[in-house]
Structure 1
């Protein structure tokens, strides 16, 4: 009996096709992931400029929101010396401030430079100009009044504010900004904010025809240089160069190999913008850097798939070898059976023949039959041993189990899994139990799952009672579930048996209790059930106590 020649043929075409498919998928995955990485870097190039803008503008924002309002704290009593000290701190902290003009004003006298409508006005006593040169603040008195328009504009706003001000409340932030700030390109003017009491006095001055009272007021104009604003490139991996340029800056000789974007500055620097540029080589290096871990992951997946393909091929190869061994085993075993059966057949035919046999011949044929029968018996024993070797049985690994810790562990687990499951237990007369924790745990698992599944919402309760009775350990799992009819209690431990109710419409194949029964029987124990419909069920497991 010869085996077909093509039964062990290896399909190398299929293996090759699988490898080609995996390789093509790998190449496509690399291309797609690289393109996505490039697109992501491109999007970041357009979006991350906001972070650079925020960090670059932060000193200006601090200057505008924190440093300038400090003038109000002097309440109009700044003089040339204190103004110089204040200017020194400004020049030191904010290099983009190039000059400061200080206006020493007075309100209430007959004006010399500007008047209110009722012949009361604001007069300029002196103007000081401060610069920072060679590490020192230099101030000069500048009565040429070269910034008369700034003063007039601020005085008009102050006049309007005093006229309409409600002294029963503090001015709003919007009123403060509109009245006491004047923001222009490269220049910010600020007048100190008078207190409500001062505003009342100013209003009374407007109503009186004669007054000899004078009140001080301060005003400062800050001249800014955007080119001294420090650029903080927080993303050098994206932006190779960041510069401050006028808004109208638009170079005609932009290199096609560069990528550019821009972001406008705000406030007194609104006539300038941040100009971002990077070469394609710079961005390609960043793309490669970010793609490296992604490519490594894709390569790892590719190697994993190749390994799986190889393992499948090896497994098929091993299966083919096993099939051949089985085929050869059956073929050889059949041949081994055939020979003694043929000999026995011949010996039997000779014994039942008509010719008389001598004593020597009968003993000879008897010896042949006995020997061939021994051969058959030996072959049968070998076949039985081979079958037992294939069907390996479970081995019980006994160890001392602390029942309190064991039960508490499963209760804690189920409380986490089912928060609405009320669980309790009681142990009497026994502490340690020698058994297989895996098999015993499977019994706990299945019976506790069964109790939760077959209980009405709001009545999901289970009490586990463990005690010793003579030479046995008795475990009772009592729930308050839906229960079952008496006629069905004998069938629930059968394979694939399912009680027909709403809880069994999905997710049950009727193997849980059958599996429990098989486990208990394997452990030389017994399991039984007592149940009443809508009252609950009690499963009793009895296991031998092995001390």
Structure 2
């Protein structure tokens, strides 16, 4: 027994060590995953600002790359009306455009041109200013404006392009950008791009110097308000607040609890930046939100490992219990054989002794030999029958059984064997049925024997009731014995299993109830038990009723 306890302690210690190990791994995994999430949030806070920047300046890029170049499609023939329609589309789709100045320019050889180079002059024919007002475009003709400097810069670039461009090939994108765009803080000036044939005509104009000849050219200046850009915070989980600020903006109240980063705006907004700010608690909440699924997954793995550990421990425990059962079975089985063999040997020695024996002594020794031989034979028959039942190597031989006669026979047999055993019998409306009398007799013998064996000396009473219920016949064996603990009810029908108590220290190998269970199952029935400690047990055998 001490050895078994030692083994159980070792197994339990291994399980404890295993649980501690995976618990430590679980805590470390949680810590590492949380730290990884926190660092990942910090990295994303610094890198994801590009996504916000791209989405915020997407309308500006659309204006710059797609809408402004549409001016070229008019080939210099925009007038105040068509320019107003064009401006209306700009204001409707790009709210950050505050006003547009339209220059209806002429290219000629007139000497009074705003810009004159090599007999080629670029001058303003008419100038208009457009601005949104109450959902409509308000356009006015302008005579004098401070914005003529923008026109002069564009005119100089255009003159240089006409004078020096290579008309044998298409202009590159860099040449177009440097010539026909002029980008300053808060505004973009653009001139329509002349065709190569137009450039050749301009050069002819320089050579001929005809004062009456001229060509139309359109130049526009777009005034932009960076604060009217719509900030699209596509990562609200990272950035609590995103605003447009001047490049030189540096708030004095930026404390340790705030995380800030910046992203410069391009082009005409180059003097401004996107300013990103988040409280540390705000990012901590995001870290926790991302951490929860990871923690749940780690917890699931942890529970899975605990379950595996428990299954391993349970299997080891079952194997150890099975080993103990087998060990106890061998000991008890050896004892069961040793006791009658010893008695037979003593009786045989006395019978073969030289001294004479009286008739009474010879009869007594003969009775002893018969009883012990019957014990051995009963034990061997039980083991043999058990093996045959498990291997399905026997057949059920059904015959009609008279219930009262069948039960009375066993009652009388046990009254002779145990005079102090009181057995009561009652049949409730059942007279006969068909079954195998030998198999049924084995069930009766084992259950009656157990009722006597596990009852107090003063309470050796058994009540047997037989009744029919639908298509079943039910046998009830109710005693007033020591009872069975509730936690043992699921084990008593297991092979070699014995409940440790004072009544089965000797003479039990744990086969009786297991043998009954196998018999009942073999006969297509069922056996169950109801029991209370120190009050008694009731075994209920249910078999198919056939008449």
Taking structure 1 as the reference length, the TM-score comes to 0.65
Structure 2: distance between partners of 1:392 and 1:50: 78
Structure-1 residue corresponding to 2:468: none
User: Which residue in 1 is equivalent to 2:466?
Assistant: none
Relative distance call for 1:170 and 1:387 in structure 2 (3 A) is farther
Q: Does 1:280 align with 2:269?
A: no
Q: How far apart are residue 17 of structure 1 and its match?
A: 4.0
Return the alpha-carbon distance in structure 1 between the equivalents of residues 183 and 279 of structure 2: 37
SS of the residue aligned with 2:9? coil
CA drift at 1:49: 0.8
Q: Does 1:253 align with 2:237?
A: no
Cα distance in 1 between the residues matched to 2:324 and 2:391 = 20
Equivalent position of 2:68 in the other structure: 68
Q: Distance in 1 between matches of 2:70 and 2:157?
A: 20
1:10 maps to: 9
Q: CA deviation at 1:389?
A: 8.6
8 A contact 2:117–2:159 mirrored in 1:
no
How do 1:100-139 and structure 2 match up within 5 A? 100-139=100-139
Q: Distance in 1 between matches of 2:82 and 2:254?
A: 50
Q: Secondary structure of the equivalent of 2:139? A: strand
Contact 2:109 2:206 in 1 (8 A): no
1:37 equivalent in structure 2? 37
Q: Distance in 1 between matches of 2:159 and 2:385?
A: 114
Structure 1 match to 2:185:
185
Q: Which moved more, 1:311-320 or 1:52-61?
A: 311-320
Q: C-alpha offsets along residues 25-46 of structure 1, whole Å, 9 cap, x if unaligned? A: 3322222221111111111111
Matching residue of 1:267: 267
Cα 1:202–1:283 change in 2 (3 A) is same
Task: Give unmatched runs, 5+ long, in structure 1.
Answer: 394-547
State the partner residue of 1:80: 80
Partner of 2:226: 226
Give, in whole Å, the separation in 2 of the partners of 1:97 and 1:170: 31
- Name 2:93's counterpart in structure 1: 93
Kindly state the Cα deviation for residue 327 of structure 1 after the two structures are TM-superposed: 2.2
Mapped contact 1:109–1:123 kept (Cα < 8 A):
no
Larger radius of gyration: 2
- Aligned residue for 2:118, secondary structure, equals coil
Q: Distance in 2 between matches of 1:73 and 1:214?
A: 19
Shift of residue 116, structure 1, vs aligned partner: 4.0
Residue 153, structure 1, aligned to residue 162, structure 2 = no
> 1:10 aligns to what SS in structure 2?
helix
Shift of the 50–373 alpha-carbon distance from structure 1 to 2, 3 Å rule, reads same
| CA-based RMSD | 3.0
CA–CA separation in structure 2 for the residues paired with 1:391 and 1:267: 92
Q: Which moved more, 1:375-384 or 1:265-274?
A: 375-384
Q: Deviations over 1:8-56 (max 9, x none)?
A: 6535555444443333333222222211111111111111111110110
The equivalent of 2:238 in structure 1 is: 238
Query: Offset at 1:225?
Result: 0.8
Secondary structure in 2 matching 1:126: strand
Number of the residue aligned with 1:144 = 144
Offset from partner CA, 1:365-406 (integer Å, 9 cap, x none): 67765664554454345456667899999xxxxxxxxxxxxx
The aligned runs of 1:305-316 (5 Å cut-off) are: 305-316=305-316
CA offset at residue 269 of structure 1? 0.7
Shift of 1:343: 3.0
Deviation sequence 1:259-302 (CA, Å, 0-9, x none)? 11111111111111100001112111111111111122222233
Q: By how many angstroms is 1:208 displaced?
A: 2.2
**1:336–1:125 Cα change, 3 Å:** same
Is the Cα–Cα contact under 8 Å of residues 246 and 272 in structure 2 kept in the other structure? yes
**1:195 alignment counterpart:** 195
Q: Describe the shift of the 1:186–1:386 C-alpha distance in structure 2 as closer, same or farther (beyond 3 A).
A: farther
1:98 and 1:132 in contact (8 A); partners too: yes
